[in-house]
Amino acid sequence: MSLRLYDTLTKEKRPFTPLDATNVGMYVCGPTVYDFAHIGNARPIIVFDVLFRLLRHLYGDAHVKYVRNITDVDDKINDRAARDFPSLPLNDAIRKVTELTEKQFHDDVDALAALRPTVEPRATEHIAEMREIIEKLVQAGFAYVAEDHVLFSPQAMNAANSVLPRYGALANRSLDEMIAGARVDVAPYKRDTTDFVLWKPAKLGEPSWPSPAGIAAPGRPGWHIECSAMAWKHLGEKFDIHGGGIDLVFPHHENELAQSCCAFHAPRMASVWMHNGFLQVEGEKMSKSLGNFVTIRELLNSWTGAVMRYAMLQTHYRQPIDWTVSRLEQARQEMGSWAAMYSGSEAHHDYQQRKFRKVAPQPTQDLVDALEDDLNTPNGVAVLRKQFSPAAGLTKEFFQNCEFLGLLNGENIGALEDTHVLGTNVQPRLLFDAIPYVMNFRVGTANNIPEVIQRAESDLAAIGIKAVIRRDAYVDIVPLDKSSELDSATIDALIADRTAARARKDFKESDRIRDQLAAMKVVLKDSKDADGNPITTWEVSR
């Protein structure tokens, strides 16, 4: 089998043929460095890391160039810098924020076992390339200057009688559909609603550079032109693969493609456009307002990066994924069973020899076949499960496949083999519910962080158990005494929340709170008062 990839632009899966097999190029949109990366950001990191590994296997490490950018000029960065470092000049504050956040990002993706890209350019280091592309677009009539702005005209692109693609082809929308569905800035200097900014005036005190196209006032680039410039600088006018999340198809990638194709009079920017699907948390869209917004760093407090990676790979990259505790727990248990067999196994000896000789893992052909089918990691997981046999032990072929996927290596085995949690006196379901909180308790205890310990203890108490650290670094979790350690105020607050949920007919939430109280050995009794209003009383089960 040869590598086949799904192209978002043509809406088909077809054989991948690099422009130059000795110099395969891939560009993936990276982070805007103003805050911790969330779990949705982890998905393209993992997806395109697996593709990077596969391409290096197929074409050779030295013949694959992976570019993932750092966006370090953005309004959100400016706002964060002004908030966190009000006493510093804005540019100095911005540098502090971007350097700190970039380090946090690297720490997190390293924990997910993602290889560093070949090149990781920063937007602010490519202003010259941005200005050059903008000059080309203005000279060719695809962009115009208005009130110290430079704007791109999709109408001009679609009117051109040339090899250019149609604006809207990537998102598969017409201009009218994009106008109806897009959040566009209404400005009197725009010739058309869909025109978007390539360059804009800088506000007082914020980063600025000499402007292109004869504009006297200093300015700053728009978002979309940044990636066009960095991709051009490091991969050329046309390259093999452009990747990112499905949320970037429009407007970012649509506009990026338009800029690059018009600047270089080309029908394509990338031969293949690849996009991973959305991520939900426990069946809901992730958002801060719903309280389910979770960062990679927060999850790493409770789960290893290998477990998070394995949980992610079990869904095909183009499909939506529901990120749940049960998904993580299943991945942890399965990988723990692998790790438990590692010491003294054939895989153990093979890894030590390869490490000494600095030899990379070699995947088996059935795993390669699965990945060559549009990066079908669920089929790759099926290969692992077929190969793993508790009776036969851990083979070197199985372990090298795991290592190739970034799941197992000789250094992360210990963290997978043992969660350091004991719960022999606790019901299995309660132990499952407690695992994330116990992990937080261990992190807080190991690093002497009182607030983390207190929060974990509070979370554990809410489900009726407590944690005790032992000399051997294990955590023993035991049921709370039936009445002495129950917090009446906490119980009353939970009952009030349940009553409110029932009033608004949110029975799912009502049942969840009832189950939480039951786990605390609290028995509820629903009745009505003299006026017919619902009331709930409680007692501790004996």
pTM, 2 dp = 0.78
Say yes or no: domain 22-280 is CATH 1.10.8.590.
no
pLDDT of residue 506: 84
> Taking the CA of residue 47 as centre, how many other CA atoms within 13 Å lie in the half-sphere pointing to its CB?
33
In 60-69, which positions are buried (b, 16+ CB within 10 angstroms) versus exposed (e)?
eeeebbbbbb
Q: Which residues contact 526 (CB under 8 A, 6 or more apart)?
A: 534, 535, 536
- What ranges do the domains of the chain cover? 22-280, 325-417, 421-479, 488-540
- Of the candidates 407, 306, 305, 307, the residue with the CA atom closest to the CA atom of residue 347: 407
Q: Could you tell me which CATH class the domain 325-417 is placed in?
A: mainly alpha
The whole-number pLDDT of residue 486 equals 53
Tell me the residue ranges of DSSP E strands in 411-459: 421-422
**Cα distance between residue 428 and residue 75, in whole Å:** 48
Radius of gyration of the chain (CA): 27
Q: Give residue 317's pLDDT.
A: 98
Smallest CA-to-CA distance from 68 within 20, 106, 21, 23 is with 106
Task: Name 295's bridge partners.
Answer: 38
Q: Could you tell me which residues come within 8 angstroms of residue 399 by beta carbon, excluding any fewer than 6 positions away?
A: 342, 345, 347, 350, 351, 361, 408
Distance (Å) of CA 382 to CA 210, 314, 315, 332, 401: 55, 9, 12, 16, 12
- pLDDT tens digits for the chain (542 residues)? 799 999 999 999 999 999 999 999 999 999 999 999 999 999 999 999 999 999 999 999 999 999 999 999 999 999 999 999 999 999 899 999 999 999 999 999 999 999 999 999 999 999 999 999 999 999 999 999 999 999 999 999 999 978 999 999 999 987 777 665 555 566 888 999 899 999 999 988 889 999 999 999 999 999 999 999 999 999 999 999 999 999 999 999 999 999 999 999 999 999 999 999 999 988 888 876 666 778 898 888 778 899 999 999 999 999 999 998 889 888 988 998 888 888 888 998 899 999 889 899 999 999 999 999 999 999 999 999 999 987 777 899 999 999 999 998 877 776 675 444 444 444 444 555 666 677 677 667 766 777 778 888 888 888 777 777 654 445 666 766 543 445 676 788 788 888 888 888 888 888 888 877 877 778 888 887 777 788 888 877 65
pLDDT at 202: 94
The pLDDT score that the predictor gives to residue 161 is: 74
Give the pLDDT of residue 275. 98
Which pLDDT score is estimated for 474?
Answer: 52
